Structures are given as structure tokens and as C-alpha cells.
Amino acid sequence: MPQTPLIFYRDDDSSVPVLGWLGALPAKARDKCRVRLERLHECGHELRRPEADYLRDGIYELRVRLGTVNYRMLYFFHDRIAAVVSHGLAKEDTVPAREIDLARQRQTKFNANPRQHTAGTANL
């Protein structure tokens, strides 16, 4: 199976939300998230629970649990070309609708202008 390129979403202000989020995590959580990103890179659309899950409206989540904390990285696919990682969050029970809506907004922006909203491909 060919690998799926990973792209980190770049916002209008040139920030890269998932990288800022990852940088603020404890080292062990960051390492587990990096492993999950590597699995997305390796498996792409084939990645399933417990590592990933479909939320709604074309938005998926990468799933990481460390102790009692559930970390999630939201992503979407750009055609069948690449997976675009929108942002990350720690959640209690379910991923809040506003987070899914934010990922959808970013998906719309990305699809309208991929070059402007690409921070580069991930070097894992």
C-alpha cells in the first residue's frame, strides 16, 4: 500500500495549529501523537479504530490516550492525494461540535487554496 503524504494545515496568519499544539504537550504525549501521525502516513484511508475514527462531514480523528487524557488530532483527506492535519485537542467525553466545525472550515479553505494553506509535508 502506498504511503499517504501528510500535510499540516497553515492558517491565514501563517500559524500551524497542530504544531503549536504538539509543542505544548508533555514529551510522552507528543511522542505518542507522533507515532499516530506516522501510522496515518503509513495507512492513510485504511487506518481504523482504535487508532483513528470518522467523526462527520469528512473529518476524522487520530486517537491517543495517555493516562486519563484523550488527545485527538483532527484531519481530512484532500482528494485521495494527502491527509491534511487541521489541529489537536484534549477531550473529555466526545469531540466538541465546534472543533469539528473548525476542521470543516479549514477543509473548505484548504480546498479553495491548497498552496496558501499548506505548511509543508510532515517530516516524521
* H-state helical runs in the chain: 17-24, 27-43, 97-112
Q: Tell me how far the alpha carbon of residue 39 is from its chain's centroid.
A: 12
| Count of the separate structural domains present in the chain | 1
- Identify whether 111 is part of a domain: yes
Residue-number span of the structural domain to which 103 is assigned: 6-121
- Residue type, position 18, single letter: V
Q: What is the pLDDT of residues 12-28, one digit of tens each?
A: 999 999 999 999 999 99
- Identify whether 48 is part of a domain: yes
Given the C-alpha cell 479549514, which residue does it identify?
A: 106
- Identify whether 1 is part of a domain: no
CATH number of the structural domain spanning residue 44: 3.30.2310.20
Cis bond before residue 50 (omega within 30° of 0): yes
pTM for the full predicted model: 0.94
Q: What is the pLDDT of residues 102-122, one digit of tens each?
A: 999 999 999 999 999 998 665
